[in-house]
């Protein structure tokens, strides 16, 4: 009995101490020492729901929207080239950087620049003396000197916080809006579809004979928007100029990485960690097959215009014309690459742009083209002799390329880092090899991956014809 009583007293004493401690903690949070009230954190309205968001926060606490979606859209426009006072420092455009390391070798101040994750970064700004040697050395013109750490040449469509352009009813999402990450594009597609669904509920659905929404493009952004519309049973039409998942198939990255899963409408968690393009293709095709989302393939959109009288959007393709309340463009900023029209070009190891040269090692790589893009890709892939690179050019000289690129190519050819086939034409792309006609005779060339730089149609021309304003944004590095 005495033992039980002693135990009870000990419990009461312990509870008293815990209660007193918790009370002090609570009082300390609400009443700072000395009676001084801590200043409220600076906030800004969420672009989606207008709720208060603390500056620097990654997500809106009210609606959960990832605020990175508006980083380009909310950036200030370039003001006639004016630059804020400050020391000039190199700014690396991660989209153009191919991780070749030329800038690091060219910089006289050792350690100023470094390669991190296959991209050049300004590792030690205090060591920079503004020589600008890195700007000259960069083969892709991906480095500029700035006094305020902002890019000055990022050209993007002008859009509102809901990603609607200056043309009422026309929205732009994904890479074309300045953000090319898969995760960002998927989130944008869902958010824009949610906004349009609310507009349709408030303003009314499309009239008979017209679609509620036409989605142009079936990449990450377009598919996400289409799945959301499909889930809520709206009348939508998704048009894709190539085959299903051709956006992913022709994606220029060697591998994909998403640090955490995200919610794909009608599918669930989508998680990709250090995955190949082929594994993402399987996921993409599974999503399309299992959800029943409808996509019209091989139907390229030629024009988009708004009818002033009806307020409807009109979309023209080779198959005819369609009308809709809203149009969502998710076509990517690479536009329509010019294809060679040869067998095997549709395979997943064929790409029309290069982003991460550093991810290719000990591979046989084939680059097709004679302009700056082709030469810069070949030089980046051949850096350090880590790959076996062949450059195929139908001409005898590289007259369209800059002199600097021509000189670097000549040096790489003399050193045996790049094999150049002139007066050559591609005939077929196989698995691991390609057939090339050179000087009237066909030969087989090793090709684990093929990069085609044959030009193409710029999406900027398409946007201008549609009435969309293009602006230059000063986006922080």
Sort 389 into a burial class: Cβ within 10 Å, 0-12 / 13-18 / 19+: buried
Q: Which fold has domain 89-155?
A: Alpha-Beta Plaits (3.30.70)
Distance CA(257)–CA(232), nearest Å, equals 30
* CATH 3.30.70.20 boundaries in the chain: 89-155
Q: CB neighbours of 112 closer than 8 A, spacing ≥ 6?
A: 122, 123, 124, 125, 127, 128
Residue 332, both tokens:
């990517």
User: What pLDDT tens digit does each residue of the chain (477 aa) get?
Assistant: 566 556 666 666 565 655 554 444 444 333 444 444 444 567 888 887 888 887 667 678 888 777 767 766 666 665 554 434 457 788 887 766 778 888 898 898 888 998 877 788 888 888 898 888 888 778 776 787 777 655 545 678 889 999 999 999 999 998 776 665 677 888 899 999 999 999 999 999 999 999 999 999 988 899 999 999 999 999 999 999 887 766 666 665 555 544 455 677 877 776 655 566 677 777 888 888 889 898 999 899 999 999 999 999 999 999 999 999 999 999 876 667 788 989 999 888 898 888 777 788 899 999 999 998 899 899 999 988 889 999 999 999 998 888 888 999 999 999 999 999 999 999 999 999 999 999 889 999 999 999 999 887 778 888 999 999 988 766 554
Architecture of domain 158-336: 3-Layer(bba) Sandwich (3.50)
Distance CA(188)–CA(322), nearest Å, equals 24
Residue 161, both tokens:
């916080």
Question: Could you say which of 1.10.357.140, 3.40.190.10, 3.90.550.10, 3.50.50.60 is the CATH number of the domain covering 350-455?
Answer: 3.50.50.60
How many Å separate Cα 148 from the centre of its chain? 24
* CATH 3.50.50.60 boundaries in the chain: 158-336, 350-455
Q: CB neighbours of 304 closer than 8 A, spacing ≥ 6?
A: 170, 216, 313, 314, 315, 316, 327, 329, 466
């Amino acid at each position: 009995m005495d033992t039980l009583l002693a135990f009870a007293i000990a419990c009461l004493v312990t509870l008293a101490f815990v209660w007193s401690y918790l009370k002090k903690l609570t009082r300390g949070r609400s009443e700072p020492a000395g009676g001084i009230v801590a200043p409220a954190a600076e906030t800004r309205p969420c672009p989606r729901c207008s709720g208060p968001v603390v500056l620097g926060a990654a997500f809106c606490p009210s609606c959960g929207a990832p605020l990175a979606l508006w980083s380009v859209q909310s950036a200030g426009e370039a003001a006639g080239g004016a630059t804020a006072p400050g020391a000039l420092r190199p700014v690396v455009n991660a989209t153009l950087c191919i991780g070749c390391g030329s800038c690091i070798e060219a910089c006289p101040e050792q350690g100023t620049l470094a390669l991190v994750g296959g991209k050049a970064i300004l590792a030690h700004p205090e060591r920079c003396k503004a020589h600008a040697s890195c700007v000259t050395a960069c083969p892709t013109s991906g480095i500029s000197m700035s006094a305020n750490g902002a890019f000055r040449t990022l050209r993007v469509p002008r859009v509102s916080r809901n990603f609607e352009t200056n043309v009422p009813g026309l929205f732009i999402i994904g890479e074309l809006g300045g953000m090319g990450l898969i995760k960002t594009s998927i989130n944008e597609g869902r958010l824009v579809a949610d906004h349009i669904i609310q507009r349709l509920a408030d303003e009314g659905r499309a009239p008979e004979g017209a679609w509620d929404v036409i989605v142009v493009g079936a990449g990450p952004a377009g598919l996400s928007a289409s799945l959301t519309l499909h889930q809520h049973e709206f009348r939508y039409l998704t048009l894709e100029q190539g085959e299903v998942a051709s956006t992913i198939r022709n994606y220029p990255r060697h591998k994909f990485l998403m640090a955490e899963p995200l919610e794909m409408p009608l599918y669930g968690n989508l998680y990709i960690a250090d995955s190949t393009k082929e594994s993402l293709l399987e996921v993409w095709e599974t999503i399309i097959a299992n959800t029943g989302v409808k996509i019209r393939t091989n139907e390229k959109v030629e024009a988009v215009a708004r009818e002033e009288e009806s307020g409807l959007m009109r979309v023209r393709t080779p198959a005819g014309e369609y009308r809709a309340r809203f149009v969502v463009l998710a076509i990517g900023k690479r536009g329509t690459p010019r294809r060679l029209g040869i067998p095997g070009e549709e395979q997943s190891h064929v790409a029309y742009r290069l982003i991460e040269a550093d991810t290719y090692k000990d591979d046989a790589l084939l680059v097709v083209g004679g302009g700056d893009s082709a030469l810069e890709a070949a030089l980046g892939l051949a850096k350090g002799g880590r790959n076996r690179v062949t450059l195929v050019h139908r001409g005898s000289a590289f007259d369209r390329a800059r002199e600097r690129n021509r000189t670097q190519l000549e040096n790489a050819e003399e050193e045996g880092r790049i094999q150049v086939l002139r007066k050559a034409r591609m005939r077929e792309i196989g698995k691991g090899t390609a057939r090339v006609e050179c000087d009237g005779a066909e030969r087989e060339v090793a090709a684990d991956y093929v990069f085609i730089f044959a030009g193409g149609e710029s999406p900027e021309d398409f946007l201008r014809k549609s009435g969309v304003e293009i602006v230059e944004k000063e986006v922080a590095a």
